[in-house]
């Protein structure tokens, strides 16, 4: 018999999202649906997933147990948002207005807007202010179903402010129920101080910042924006190889606006994810199909930037790549803080099926942050990160647009959202 | 001095949406923004809109007055959802799944799915069940900022069930704070009982149902689905002329999937609105530009049906047409119950500016239900229908995707949503 201290009983539908990891073509179609499912945990870890009779046979429900009623709710793993730029200050509403008048993202960057606006604002705020902004955003993300959030630095672009961003992430990870996965992205842009001296900026990142981040244990991953006007493929390779030597896992912003070969590089070096892929080439698709590197698509970006082109989700799946979805929450190209909306965009704008989109926001998204052993599916041994949604079936998560169906969120075996409110 | 029984004080931004009605090109750009705005009402009617000093000069705030604190909130007129199919039973999730596999709306209709599924489900439920469904949906709409909702029959398609739908609308209008504007849409489809006998169905609608609806005062408007495979232009004209003789105002579903000339007809007969317009022709645009008929666009439909084509919002505005946005809330082609999401789709998928989209969901949407004298803008004499949103500026209503920013809703001078919850 198994001990438990928390039980979610009698969920109308329980989606385990179990399967081989990362999930590819056929496995992506399977959410592991259990009707009238029960799930139990002890000290934050799942100890049981199954039916009521199995529960009665296997689990000892002591007096101190907490019960959550799952009737009329569907339960699924907490969403893993595997790509965000969480720690920033300011907003980019002015730029947003100009884009509505027809300016392109690249044109705005050329006028000194874009990322640089946010770099100035983020450098200007204190640690406490930045932490306060992050906590407020994490609350919103939690209310919309995210229980793990990757977060990149990259609006500091100097020693103190990159470290500040990463230390703030460590702090909010301690303070907030959401697990924050920190990524060092000093290679998000070339700061004004290093204009026309990209090599010197690379030296700075490699010789000073990477060791400083590592010695403070401030980041699990290194990420770089490989894009025309930012970092070339050769510069990206140099950065990534140095980051690997320094001990970082690798994520790469690749093929967002221009295909430069970074997706192939991501697969070659064993990055956990190649991210964006709007302009991915057939070679890029083949490279991901043959590697464990996850194709991490960010449908908020084409929606927010009003692009006609979308990443070729179906081609990637058909080729055998492992697909994940993330929000790319950031002030310039995707102010999307709801993973539920990302799931919906995955269906309506990338034409995923509901099941593919759910797996892409859970099991495969966990692979895109290297935490597939801990999160992303509901099975014994993993974290008790569960969301309960008030919809009649999983398809209704996508079919009903507008209202937020997330009623309760359990994180590490603790109820942190009850009836749509933070507890 | 003016008496007041409710005051909303010190709104960070107050959008009046005042202007000529319906608003066209230049007027659509003006939301009538007042910084630190105050608004007061007496017995549900607005008596004051302006600054604090003006308020102190003009308004007597007695002891019994209710105060709402508008600090850090923006205030705007409650949204008018001018096109919904509210009173239906069942859902169409199965069909939704087939569409994700590539089936078209027309193919589904040919297989007996589509509207007919919902007709069967709606005929099968009792009045009480149908009212319960409507009330639940109206709550969701209210929480996302709608204070007036047009609602069409058209899932009965026989005497008893069309009357049932309309009587349910009258009942929920009494029970719910939202004002429901009822539209008789017996001409939503040709029921199976009349297959290949369209003329006989038209006779039935004209000779039996129209007088029955009129004598019971159950609908303000008549609407008809002019579309290939449904009602031809000639049939639409016959129905519309009969409806006008019977005393109905006119709305027409036109140019949704096929341009048949119904938009031109709508302008010719003085309909309040021509609705959908995805396939509108240059002649249709010219017709609307020269008439008071509102171009009512429903951006949920191309999003939900994953169509590449969108109604030409910019061409309509440039030509001088009056533009409104609605949800088309219905189970087959737009399960969108949030007017806030409609506003966002107006910007992101139709490329309206934020101001154009706000006016299209308020002032011009009021014209599309013939209630512009009562609602759609904040000015003395109109209903005190106000929503208060927790965002730093009006642009943030669109810029921040995911969370619902609607904190408070005042309907007819009464607080009906407080801190995101129904009161």
| pLDDT of the residue at B246 | 98
In Å, what is the CA distance from B313 to each residue of A5, A90, B297, B317, B365?
Answer: 56, 31, 8, 6, 15
Cβ neighbours of B341 in A, within 8 Å: 401-402
Cβ neighbours of B401 in A, within 8 Å: 300, 303-304, 335-338, 341
Cβ partners under 8 Å of residue A107, min gap 6: none
**Res B415 pLDDT > 80:** yes
| pLDDT of the residue at B289 | 97
Cis peptide before A22 (omega within 30 of 0): yes
B281-285, Cβ contacts within 8 angstroms, sequence gap of 24 or more: B281/B255, B284/B254, B284/B255, B284/B259, B285/B312, B285/B315, B285/B316, B285/B319, B285/B321
**Res B195 pLDDT > 80:** yes
- Considering only CA atoms, which of A399, A345, A107 is closest in space to residue B93? A399
CB pairs under 8 A between A and B: 95
Which residues does A contribute to its contact with B (CB < 8 Å)? Answer: 91, 93, 96-97, 100-101, 140, 143-144, 300, 303-304, 306, 335-338, 340-341, 347-349, 351, 353-354, 392-393, 395-396, 398-404
Percentages of chain A per state (helix, strand, coil), in multiples of 5: 40, 25, 35
| Local structure of residue A160 (DSSP, 8 states) | H
In Å, what is the CA distance from B174 to each residue of A220, B178, B330, B415?
Answer: 58, 9, 22, 17
Interface probe, candidates A12, A89, A92, A93, chain B, greatest B C-beta count within 10 A: A93
Q: Are strands B414-418 and B406-411 parallel, antiparallel or unpaired?
A: antiparallel
The complex's ipTM? 0.96
Cβ partners under 8 Å of residue A214, min gap 6: A246, A247, A248
Q: What residue has token string 């009982």? A: B193
Q: How far apart are CA A262 and CA A255, in angstroms?
A: 7
Residues in chain A: 423
The beta-carbon neighbor of A401 closest among B93, B306, B335 is B335
Cβ distance of A402 and B144 shorter than 8 Å: yes
Cβ distance of A351 and B143 shorter than 8 Å: no
* Nearest chain B Cα distance for residue A333, angstroms: 10
More confident residue, B103 or B298: B298
Residue B290: Cβ within 10 Å count = 12
Cβ distance of B336 and A402 shorter than 8 Å: yes
- Considering only CA atoms, which of A305, A291, A292, A257 is closest in space to residue A277? A257
Sign of the Cα torsion A112, A117, A119, A124 reads positive
The beta-carbon neighbor of B399 closest among A96, A338, A354 is A96
Angle formed by the axes of helices B159-175 and B127-143, to 10°? Answer: 50
* Nearest chain A Cα distance for residue B134, angstroms: 15
| pLDDT of the residue at B108 | 84
Mean pLDDT of chain B: 96
| Rounded average pLDDT over B275-286 | 98
| pLDDT of the residue at B100 | 85
- What's the pLDDT band for B107 if we cut at 50, 70, 90? confident
The beta-carbon neighbor of A335 closest among B97, B393, B399 is B399
Which pLDDT tens digit goes with each residue over B257-274? 999 999 999 999 999 999
Mean pLDDT, each 10-residue run in order, chain A (423 residues): 95 97 96 97 97 94 88 98 98 90 80 89 98 98 98 98 98 98 98 95 98 98 96 98 98 97 98 98 97 98 94 98 98 96 98 97 98 98 98 96 96 98 95
Q: Where are the alpha helices (DSSP H) in B275-338?
A: 282-289, 300-304, 313-319
Cis peptide before B22 (omega within 30 of 0): yes
Cβ distance of B353 and A143 shorter than 8 Å: no
Cβ distance of B351 and A395 shorter than 8 Å: no
Cβ partners under 8 Å of residue A217, min gap 6: none
| Rounded average pLDDT over B146-161 | 98
| pLDDT of the residue at B55 | 96
Dihedral angle over CA of A137, A142, A148, A149, nearest 10: -20
Residue B148: Cβ within 10 Å count = 26
* B105 in Cβ contact with B305 (< 8 Å): yes
Interface probe, candidates B402, B403, B417, chain A, greatest A C-beta count within 10 A: B402
Q: What's this model's pTM, rounded to 2 decimal places?
A: 0.97
* Nearest chain B Cα distance for residue A300, angstroms: 9
Instruction: Name the closest residue on chain B to residue A353, using Cα atoms.
Output: B100
Instruction: Name the closest residue on chain A to residue B345, using Cα atoms.
Output: A303
Interface probe, candidates B401, B418, B420, chain A, greatest A C-beta count within 10 A: B401
Cβ distance of A91 and B396 shorter than 8 Å: yes
| Rounded average pLDDT over B172-201 | 97
Q: Where are the alpha helices (DSSP H) in B247-309?
A: 262-269, 282-289, 300-304
Encoding tokens for residue B258?
């096929």
CATH topology of domain A80-367: TIM Barrel (3.20.20)
Percentages of chain B per state (helix, strand, coil), in multiples of 5: 40, 25, 35
Encoding tokens for residue A53?
């009779």
Cβ neighbours of A337 in B, within 8 Å: 400-403
In Å, what is the CA distance from B88 to each residue of A154, B264, B330?
Answer: 50, 30, 8
Q: How far apart are CA B308 and CA B285, in angstroms?
A: 20
The beta-carbon neighbor of B96 closest among A335, A349, A395 is A395
* Nearest chain B Cα distance for residue A283, angstroms: 27
Q: What residue has token string 């010719």? A: B268
Cβ neighbours of B91 in A, within 8 Å: 392, 396, 399
**Res B61 pLDDT > 80:** no
- Where are chain B's structural domains? 2-77+377-422, 80-367
Which pLDDT tens digit goes with each residue over B214-225? 999 999 999 999
Output the furthest CA–CA distance in chain A (Å, rounded): 69
* Nearest chain A Cα distance for residue B210, angstroms: 33
Cβ distance of B303 and A144 shorter than 8 Å: no
The full DSSP string for A283-327 is HHHHHHHTSS-EEEE-THHHHHTT-S----HHHHHHHT--EEE--
Cβ neighbours of A398 in B, within 8 Å: 96
**Res B134 pLDDT > 90:** yes
Q: How far apart are CA B193 and CA B204, in angstroms?
A: 12
The top-level CATH class assigned to A2-77+377-422 is mainly beta
| pLDDT of the residue at B296 | 98
- Considering only CA atoms, which of B366, B396, B415 is closest in space to residue B80? B366
**Res B207 pLDDT > 90:** yes
Interface probe, candidates A314, A330, A403, chain B, greatest B C-beta count within 10 A: A403
The full DSSP string for A227-270 is -TTSB-HHHHHHHHHHHHHHT-EEEEEESSSS--SHHHHHHHHT
| pLDDT of the residue at B329 | 98
Instruction: Name the closest residue on chain B to residue A330, using Cα atoms.
Output: B400
Sign of the Cα torsion B34, B40, B45, B46 reads negative
């Amino acid at each position: 018999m198994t001990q438990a201290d928390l039980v979610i009983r009698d969920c109308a539908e329980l989606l385990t999202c179990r399967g081989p990891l990362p999930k590819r073509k056929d496995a992506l179609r399977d959410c592991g649906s259990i009707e009238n499912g029960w799930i139990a945990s002890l000290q934050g870890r799942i100890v049981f997933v199954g039916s009521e009779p199995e529960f009665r046979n296997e689990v000892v429900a002591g007096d101190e147990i907490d019960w959550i009623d799952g009737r009329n709710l569907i339960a699924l793993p907490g969403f893993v948002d595997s790509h965000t730029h969480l720690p920033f200050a300011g907003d980019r509403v002015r730029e947003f207005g100009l884009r509505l008048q027809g300016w392109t993202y690249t044109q705005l960057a050329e006028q000194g807007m874009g990322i640089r606006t946010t770099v100035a604002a983020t450098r200007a705020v204190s640690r406490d202010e930045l932490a306060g902004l992050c906590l407020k955003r994490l609350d919103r993300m939690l209310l919309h179903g995210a229980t793990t959030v990757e977060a990149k630095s990259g609006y500091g672009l100097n020693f103190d402010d990159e470290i500040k961003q990463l230390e703030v992430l460590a702090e909010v990870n301690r303070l907030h129920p959401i697990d924050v996965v920190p990524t060092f992205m000093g290679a998000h842009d070339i700061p004004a101080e290093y204009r026309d001296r990209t090599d010197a900026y690379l030296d700075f990142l490699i010789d000073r910042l990477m060791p400083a981040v590592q010695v403070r244990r401030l980041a699990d991953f290194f990420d770089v924006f490989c894009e025309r006007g930012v970092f070339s493929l050769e510069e990206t390779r140099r950065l990534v190889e140095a980051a690997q030597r320094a001990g970082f896992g690798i994520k790469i912003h690749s093929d967002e606006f221009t295909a430069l070969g970074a997706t192939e590089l991501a697969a070659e070096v064993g990055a956990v994810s190649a991210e964006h892929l709007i302009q991915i080439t057939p070679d890029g698709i083949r490279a991901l199909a043959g590697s464990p590197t996850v194709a991490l698509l960010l449908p908020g970006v084409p929606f927010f930037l009003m692009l006609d082109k979308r990443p070729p989700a179906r081609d990637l799946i058909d080729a055998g790549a492992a697909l994940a979805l993330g929000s790319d929450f950031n002030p310039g190209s995707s102010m999307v803080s709801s993973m539920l909306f990302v799931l919906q965009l995955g269906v309506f704008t990338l034409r995923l099926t509901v099941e593919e989109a759910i797996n892409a926001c859970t099991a495969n998204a966990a692979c895109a942050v290297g935490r597939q052993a801990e999160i992303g599916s509901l099975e014994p041994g993993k974290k008790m990160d569960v969301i309960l949604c008030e919809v009649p079936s999983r398809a209704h998560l996508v079919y009903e647009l507008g209202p937020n169906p997330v009623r309760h969120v359990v994180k590490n075996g603790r109820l942190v959202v009850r009836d749509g409110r933070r507890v």
